[in-house]
Chain A
Amino acid sequence: MSTSSNSGASNAEVVIVGTGVVAAVVAEQLLDAGLSVLMLEAGPRVSRAEIVENYRNLPLGNKGNAIASYPSKPWAPHPEPKSGRPGDDYLQVSGPNGIGYLQSYVRYAGGSTWHWAGTCWRLTPEDMRLNSLYGVGRDWPFPYEELEPYYVMAEYKLGICGPSDAAEQWPQGVKRSKPYPMPELPFSPGEEKFTKVMREKLGLRNVHVAQARNSGMPYDSRPACCGNNNCVPVCPVGAKYDAATSLGRLEAKGATILHNAVVYKVETNANNEIAAVNYLDPNKDSHRITGKTFVLACNGIETPKLLLMSADERNPNGLANSSDQVGRNMMDHPQLAYKIKLKEPYWTGLGPVVNSGIMETSQGDYRSRHAAAYFRFNNFAQNRFVTFDTLKQGLIGRELDEQLRHNTATSGMIVAAHEVLPDPENRLTLSDKKDWLGLPKPAVHFDVGEYTRRSAREFSEPMIQRIADAMGVEEAPTSPGFRPSKHIMGGTIMGKDSSNAVVDDVCRAYDHANLFLPGGGAMPSTATGNSTITMVALAFRASEAIIRQMKTGA
C-alpha cells in the first residue's frame, strides 16, 4: 500500500474527515444520493493480512494488547501506552479516574472498527430519557421510536446477526420493525454452561449478543464467521464488519479517499460556515480542501480536538463551541473486569470473543440513585492469560500439560460495564505537549462520578460476587478498578438547547449550518451497551439531513 497521500483532489461537495464506520456510512449514503465525496484519513491504509501478521508475530506477553497490532505512524499517533512508539504518551489523562479513560482507538483507514468486538446492543427507550424518568443526566431530543428505523438501517448495513426469538432480543419487550438479517451465533461450551448456571441459580437471562459478524452465511461480500476467536484485535477473514471492508466499495462509487492526510484546521468564512479543511502530509506540507458541506467523524477524541484546534477570530473558543460544550461531557462505559479461577471447566475460546451478556440488569428505577450496569462472561481463549503463571510453577512433562490445560479450561473473566452521566468537568482540552507534526496532544480529565461509583459499591460489585459464587470460583474475584471500555462518547453532545449542546437532533453543529458531527460524541446518554450501533444510527439520520439540506436547502 502507498504511504503517500495520493493528493491532487482539492474539493468535493461533501468533505468527510475520517474513514471509520460513521464516516463510511455517511459517505455511502451521500454517494448513493449522487453527491461527490472526499474522505481524509490521518493514518495509513493497510491490508488485513499485514495486521493479522502483526498480531501473530507479537510475543505471548503482548498478545492481549489490542493496539499492539496497529503501530501508529509518527504523523498520526494513537494511544499506545508503554510501547516506546509515537503514541506512547499521546493521550494525556488526569483526574480521579484518568487511567480509566486511557482509550484505545486506531488512526488507520477503516478506524477503530478494525479492533472492535462487533457488539451491537441497542439503547432502550428508557436509556434515552434518563432525566425525565430518573432525574439524572440528559434526555435525548427525540424518542426511541424515531431512532428505531435507523437502528434497522445500521443492522442491515453492518450485517448484524441476532436472535429471532423476541425473548432473547434486546431491548426486551420493545417492538422491532424488522428482524435481524442473520441468526445469532452459537455459544461456546463455556457460554452454554454460564447461561444455564445464571438462569438456574440466579434467575438471570444471559442472552446472545447482537453483533456485526456474519452468522452461518456470507453477507455484504464478506465470509461467514468461522470462530477464529480473534475479533479483537482483528478478524483475520473479514467476517466481522469493519469500515475497511467498505472503502473499496466507496471508491467504486466515486469517493476520493486520501490517507496519511492529517487535518489540523477547519476554516470558516465570513458567514461562519465551514469553507475548507487543511491537512498536513507526512512531509509536513499543508494542503487545502474545499467543499459545500463538511462532516467530522474522526473519533470521539479527535473530533473535539480538531474543533478546539480550529479556533479563529469568529470562534475564539474553537469551532461549534459557543455553548462551551465541545470536549466536555466525555463519557465511556467504565468497566470493572474480574479474572476468575473456577472449580470446574468453563472452556471459553470457541466463537466470537464477546458473544453474550446479561442486559436485563441495566434497567430499573434504581437509576435514580446509581448507574446501570450490565454483566458479561468474556469468550477469549485463555491460553495467553495462564501460560506464564503455569510455567513459573516449575512443572514438567505430563504434570505441566495437565496443569496448563486445567488452568486454560477453568480461567475466565467476568465484566461489569457501567453507564456514566454527562459531566462538563470530564473534559478534553489541548495539551501543551505536541506530537510529531507539532500539533497539540489531547488531554482528558476524567472522574467516573459518584453516580457510577455508587453503582459499583451497591450494585455491580455485589452482583459480580454473586455471579462468581454461582459459577463456582476458587476465591472471591477482585478488580484493579475502573478501566475504559473504549466507547468514546459525549465530546460534541446533542441537545435541544444550543446554549448547552454542540449539535442538534440531526448532529448538525448549532454554530455552523454546513457542519455535521455524527457519532458517539453526540450521544447525550451512554446506557451500558457498546455505542457503535447507536453511532451508526445517528450517521444514517445525519446523512438524511445532509442530503435534504443540500438538495432542497431544508
Chain B
Amino acid sequence: MSQMNPKDGVQSQSRRNFLRAGAILGADSLLGVSLPVSAALANEPGVASFMKLSRLLVNHHLDEGVGQRMWVLLKDKHSNLNQNVADILKIATQKQAKIVEDFFADIPVGELQDLAYQIIFGWYAGCLDTSAQAESFAFEQALTFQNTADVITIPSYGVSGPNDWADRPNVPVLPLRKF
C-alpha cells in the first residue's frame, strides 16, 4: 500500500465504516473461523449427545468442529464418557433445563459433576487441563476469548485496521457480550 491521496482517503474511510458496520451487525455471532467438521464424527452418536449436553452446560453458540475435537480427547480420558453424558442429560431432561443454571446443582458431586466441569473448562480454555503440554483443540473459538472479543483483541487476530483502536472507551465490565 502506498501513501493515499485525499480521494483515496475518503474511499478508504467509507470502506472502513462499512466494515465496522458489518462488525457491529455480526457482534452477536462467533468471531473467527469455525473448525472443520468431520463427517465421520458427525455420525457418531456419542458426539451428538455430547454436543447436546455441551449446549446445556454452556449458554453460548458452540462450534461443532471444536466439540468433535474435544470429544475425541475426552473419550481417551473417560472410559465411561458416553454413559456419563447420557446420565447428565437425563438430569437435564428431568429438570426441563434450557440453560446450565436450570440443572447444574442437581448433578451429583463426583464423577458426573467432575465431567460437567471439565466440559465447561474445555469450551472456555480450548484444552482439557492447565499444563504446558495439554493438547489444544481451540484458540480463537475458546470462549474465554469470545467473552471479551467486543472489547479487546484475541491475540494474533487484528481488531480492525491501522491505529483503529484509538480513543476506544475504557468500558465497564458489564454488559456481557452475546455470542
Instruction: Scan residues 206-254 of chain A and give those whose CB is less than 8 A from a CB of chain B.
Output: 214-218, 223-230, 234, 236-237
Q: Are A60 and B158 in contact (CB under 8 A)?
A: no
Q: Enumerate chain A residues within 8 angstroms of B165, measured Cβ to Cβ.
A: 186, 188, 227, 350-351
Q: Enumerate chain B residues within 8 angstroms of A193, measured Cβ to Cβ.
A: 170
Q: Are A59 and B160 in contact (CB under 8 A)?
A: no
Q: Enumerate chain A residues within 8 angstroms of B159, measured Cβ to Cβ.
A: 226-229, 350
Q: A218-B1, A387-B125 are known contacts. Are A408 and B147 too (CB-CB below 8 A)?
A: yes
Which residue of B121, B134, B148, B152 contacts A59 across the interface (Cβ within 8 Å)?
Answer: B134
Q: Are B152 and A55 in contact (CB under 8 A)?
A: no
Q: Are A189 and B173 in contact (CB under 8 A)?
A: no
Q: A223-B1, A381-B153, A396-B104 are known contacts. Are A408 and B127 too (CB-CB below 8 A)?
A: no
Kindly name the residue among A58, A60, A229, A391 whose own CB sees the greatest number of chain B CB atoms within 10 A: A60
Compute how far the CA of A224 lies from the CA of B2 in the bound complex, rounded to whole angstroms.
11
Q: A61-B127, A383-B148 are known contacts. Are A227 and B158 too (CB-CB below 8 A)?
A: yes
Instruction: Scan residues 10-50 of chain B and give those whose CB is less than 8 A from a CB of chain A.
Output: none
Interface string of A372-386 (1 = CB under 8 A from B): 000000001101100
Which residue of A63, A192, A223, A227 contacts B160 across the interface (Cβ within 8 Å)?
Answer: A227
When C-beta atoms are compared, the residue in chain B nearest to A193 turns out to be B170
Q: Which segment of B75-83, B88-96, B138-146 sits at the interface?
A: B138-146
Which residue of A189, A216, A237, A387 contacts B168 across the interface (Cβ within 8 Å)?
Answer: A189
Q: Which segment of A302-310, A341-349, A470-478, A529-537 sits at the interface?
A: A341-349
Q: Enumerate chain A residues within 8 angstroms of B151, measured Cβ to Cβ.
A: 189, 347, 349-350, 409
Answer whether residue A394 sits at the interface, using C-beta atoms and an 8 A cutoff. yes
- Give the bracket for the number of chain B residues in contact with chain A: 35 or more
Which residue of B1, B59, B145 contacts A398 across the interface (Cβ within 8 Å)?
Answer: B59
Q: Enumerate chain A residues within 8 angstroms of B127, measured Cβ to Cβ.
A: 59-61
Compute how far the CA of A380 lies from the CA of B152 in the bound complex, rounded to whole angstroms.
10
Query: Distance in Å from the Cβ of B86 to the closest Cβ of chain A?
Result: 20
Q: Are A401 and B176 in contact (CB under 8 A)?
A: yes
Answer whether residue B167 sits at the interface, using C-beta atoms and an 8 A cutoff. yes
Q: Enumerate chain B residues within 8 angstroms of A345, measured Cβ to Cβ.
A: 170-173
Compute how far the CA of A60 lies from the CA of B3 in the bound complex, rounded to whole angstroms.
39
Query: Distance in Å from the Cβ of A190 to the closest Cβ of chain B?
Result: 7
Answer whether residue B163 sits at the interface, using C-beta atoms and an 8 A cutoff. yes
Q: Enumerate chain A residues within 8 angstroms of B130, measured Cβ to Cβ.
A: 60-61, 388
Q: Are A347 and B152 in contact (CB under 8 A)?
A: yes
Answer whether residue A33 sits at the interface, using C-beta atoms and an 8 A cutoff. no
Query: Distance in Å from the Cβ of B130 to the closest Cβ of chain A?
Result: 5
Number of interface residues of A (CB under 8 A): 65
Q: Are A192 and B3 in contact (CB under 8 A)?
A: no
Answer whether residue B106 sits at the interface, using C-beta atoms and an 8 A cutoff. no
Query: Distance in Å from the Cβ of B154 to the closest Cβ of chain A?
Result: 8
Q: Enumerate chain B residues within 8 angstroms of A60, measured Cβ to Cβ.
A: 125-127, 130, 134, 136, 142, 144
Q: Are B131 and A59 in contact (CB under 8 A)?
A: yes
Q: A217-B162, A227-B159 are known contacts. Are A56 and B171 too (CB-CB below 8 A)?
A: no
Query: Distance in Å from the Cβ of A454 to the closest Cβ of chain B?
Result: 36
Answer whether residue A402 sits at the interface, using C-beta atoms and an 8 A cutoff. yes
Q: Are B153 and A229 in contact (CB under 8 A)?
A: yes
Q: Are A381 and B152 in contact (CB under 8 A)?
A: yes
Compute how far the CA of A351 lies from the CA of B131 in the bound complex, rounded to whole angstroms.
28
Q: Are B156 and A230 in contact (CB under 8 A)?
A: yes
Q: A397-B59, A398-B176 are known contacts. Are A186 and B156 too (CB-CB below 8 A)?
A: no
Q: Are B132 and A404 in contact (CB under 8 A)?
A: no
Q: Are B152 and A349 in contact (CB under 8 A)?
A: yes
Answer whether residue A131 sits at the interface, using C-beta atoms and an 8 A cutoff. no
Interface string of B41-77 (1 = CB under 8 A from A): 0000000000000000101000000000000000000
Binding site for A on B (CB under 8 A): 1-3, 57, 59, 99-101, 104, 117, 120-121, 124-127, 129-136, 139-140, 142, 144-145, 147-148, 151-174, 176-177
A-B contacts, 11 of them at CB < 8 A, read A61-B130, A61-B132, A190-B170, A192-B170, A226-B164, A227-B163, A227-B164, A345-B172, A381-B155, A383-B144, A409-B173
> What would 15 more interface pairs be, CB under 8 Å, given A217-B162, A229-B156, A397-B104?
A57-B136, A60-B126, A226-B159, A227-B163, A227-B165, A228-B156, A345-B171, A349-B155, A351-B165, A381-B152, A383-B144, A387-B124, A397-B100, A405-B148, A408-B152
Q: Sorted from nearest, which 10 A-B pairs have the closest CB atoms?
A: A349-B152, A186-B166, A226-B158, A224-B162, A189-B170, A62-B132, A59-B134, A229-B153, A230-B156, A350-B165
